[in-house]
Amino acid sequence: MVRRSADQTEAVNRTSFAPVSPLRALLLGLAAGTGAGLIALALGRLTLTLVVELTSDEVVGANIGAGLIAMAVTLAAGPLLAWFLLRLVRLPMPLETALLSVPFHLAFAVLLLSAGPAVEGLLWDHAPGVAEATSPAVPWYALDIAGIALAVALSALLVALWRRRGASPGASTPTTP
């Protein structure tokens, strides 16, 4: 067994992330959010496939419950995966950023998915060959990924700006008597 000194043990247990500029935080948040969106969407589709396969004998036609389960998995997995990816890119305060992205993600999901029919119409009208070569759900997937990417990027930017000011998000500002 290899013995470690106290300095080495503390270095392993305490990870300090260097402060980053707001632009770098925005770009890292966008990259982590895009990756989280892609993985969350893949997990949602996998869940949908598994649920449909398990219940295919019981349900005839559309399986709305499976779609709702897949959507819930995608919505829940997005911020969790974003936290993991933000840690990987060593962004300061990744947990706070991921938690702050949850309400943004829910708001963007509603806004972007309600814009889905318009985006779908524009895409298929301007690129009909793409519609034939791919799934008709491609615009919906892109909007879902964009929702989590924008939420994480905005959260990373806000946390970087808070940190630059010297405050942490959630800490109260001290008052002087």
User: What is the number of H-type helices and E-type strands within the chain?
Assistant: 7, 0
pLDDT digits (tens, 9 = 90+) for 28-64: 999 999 999 999 999 998 998 888 877 766 655 567 7
pLDDT digits (tens, 9 = 90+) for 14-24: 455 677 899 99
The whole-number average pLDDT for the span 146-153 is 94
Going from N- to C-terminal start, the domains of the chain cover 21-165
CA torsion 51→134→36→167, rounded to 10°?
A: -130
- The packing angle between helices 94-114 and 116-126, to 10°, is 70
Q: Which of 85-94, 133-142, 160-169 has the highest mean pLDDT?
A: 85-94
